[in-house]
Amino acid sequence: MFRKYKKKILVSVTFGAVIFLAFSIYADFGNLIESFSKFNWLWFPLVLTFSLGNYIIRFFKWQYYLKLLGIKIRPLRSLLIFFASFIMSVTPGKMGEVLKSFLLKEETGTPVSVSAPIVLAERITDFLSIVILCLAGAIVFDYGTGIILATGLAFVILTILLSSKIICHKLISVLCKIRFIERHSEKIYSAYDSIYVLIKLKPLFIVVLISTAAWFLECLGFYTVLNVFSSVSNIDVSILKATFIYGFSTLIGAIAMLPGGLGVTEASLTGLLVFLKIPKDISVASTIIIRVATLWFAVILGIFAVQFYQKILHKEIKDIE
């Protein structure tokens, strides 16, 4: 499974470098370097801490989902599996994070069809929480409300649909008339049983709250970056505006289904900052700093987690099928 995505990850890393280069040219490389020199890098560890806080809170969400499905695993192994999946953050729609299910099967014998729906539940609750954050910021930004509401409504409808066993079982039975799908009907029903448990009203409410707190920490990280630049440039961005810009850009990047939202997220972050009349060089510098502190920091943590997990497992992850 990991072997299948390895090339895609390398392509995404290369694409990310090209994106940063393109934005550097847009901002004028000389001015961009000057902006980086003006940034007080003593604040960068705090930005990374906010990102780490996001990951840790989302780990507890992962643990909660495992408990709901009755999957038992030692906390340290679970933590390593969760962080190892971050190496897949630059796969389309983050669906490469299903790596967690393959590692979980290796650890506990849990069928992939049982645990893989956790990835879907995570994406649904992440979307809903980001929509909530965007709406809070849209109050002062007055932009993108239509897209935010449409996205939120789409995921609410999806959640309602998935919570109806009658509708979903009928839909699955229709799909299973196709010969290829029929061979996997047992796994499909098993996967649906898992997602049904995960999106019941109480778990959904609890997890959306957890997710909202987690993603707000990254918004705080973005606000911190802008606040540091405010001391050397005439910019003033409130916490609500920073929350909207980061949340909206993350949402657009996720909708685009590009690896890690590359290109789309950066363009949205920079574009909205320029819209606030923030100089191009500072807008691009802020975008690069926050993307390094969130997306690429996660990938780096994922690499270390994979290496550590392989030492414990005494097996190469790329050999897991």
Per residue in 166-200, pLDDT tens? Answer: 888 888 888 888 877 778 788 888 888 899 999 89
What is the DSSP annotation of 158-212?
Answer: HHHHHT-HHHHHHHHHHHTTSHHHHTTHHHHHHHHHHHHHHTSHHHHHHHHHHHH
**Per-residue model confidence (pLDDT) at position 190:** 87
Tokens read off for 238? 């409130």
pLDDT at residue 78, rounded to an integer: 94
- Look at residue 12 in the predicted model and tell me its pLDDT: 67
Average pLDDT over residues 253-263: 82
Query: Are 125 and 195 contacting, i.e. CB atoms less than 8 angstroms apart?
Result: no
Nearest alpha-carbon partner for 254 in 144, 131, 143: 131
pTM comes to 0.89
| Per-residue tokens: 218 | 């990254």
315 pLDDT exceeds 60? yes
Per-residue confidence (pLDDT) for residue 321, from 0 to 100: 55
Res 139: pLDDT? 73
Whether 55 shows a pLDDT value over 70: the answer reads: yes
Separation CA 41–CA 294 (nearest Å): 16
Structure-model confidence comparison of residues 208 and 176, the more confident one? 208
Give the rounded percent of residues in the chain with a pLDDT score beyond 70.
92
Structure-token match 């979307």, residue found: 127
Contacts of 250-254 with CB under 8 Å at 24 or more apart are 250/130, 250/215, 250/218, 251/127, 251/130, 251/131, 251/134, 251/147, 251/148, 251/151, 252/147, 254/93, 254/94, 254/123, 254/126, 254/127, 254/130
Counted domains in the chain:
1
Two tokens at 167? 């509708």
Distance of alpha carbon 50 from alpha carbon 214, whole angstroms? 9
- CA dist 252 and 226 (Å) reads 21
Separation between Cα atoms, residue 61 and residue 249, nearest integer Å? 23
Least confident of 16-25, 52-61, 241-250: 16-25
The predicted-structure confidence for 63-122, as pLDDT tens digits, reads as follows 999 999 999 999 999 999 999 989 888 776 556 678 888 889 988 899 988 999 999 899
Give the pLDDT confidence score for residue 57 in this predicted structure. 97
Exposure string for 121-158, b = 16+ CB within 10 A, e = fewer: bbbbbbbbbbbbbbebbbeebebbeebbeebbeebeee
**What would the pLDDT profile of 45-54 be if each residue is shown by its tens digit?**
999 999 999 9
What is d(CA 215, CA 45) in angstroms, rounded to the nearest whole number? Answer: 18
| Angle separating helix axes 117-141 and 185-198, nearest 10 degrees | 40
pLDDT one-digit tens code per residue, 125-168: 999 999 999 887 777 776 767 778 888 888 889 888 888 888 88
Query: Which residue would you say has higher pLDDT here, 24 or 296?
Result: 296
Q: What is the mean pLDDT of the chain?
A: 86
Confidence band of 232 (pLDDT split at 50, 70, 90): confident
H-helix or E-strand spanning residue 84: helix 75-84
φ/ψ of residue 92, rounded to 5: -55, 125
What is the reported pLDDT for 89?
80
pLDDT at 98: 81
Is the dihedral angle over the CA atoms 5, 199, 240, 221 positive or is it negative? negative
- Residue 24's pLDDT is 80
Task: Return the pLDDT at 130.
Answer: 92
Q: Is the pLDDT of residue 216 over 90?
A: yes
Smallest CA-to-CA distance from 208 within 114, 98, 130 is with 130
Measure Cα distances from 100 to 14, 47, 62, 170, 302 in Å: 24, 26, 10, 29, 12
Residue 27 has pLDDT above 80, yes or no: no
Report the DSSP beta bridge partners of residue 92: 259
- What share of the chain in percent tops pLDDT 90? 44
What residue numbers bound the domain in which 97 lies? 2-319
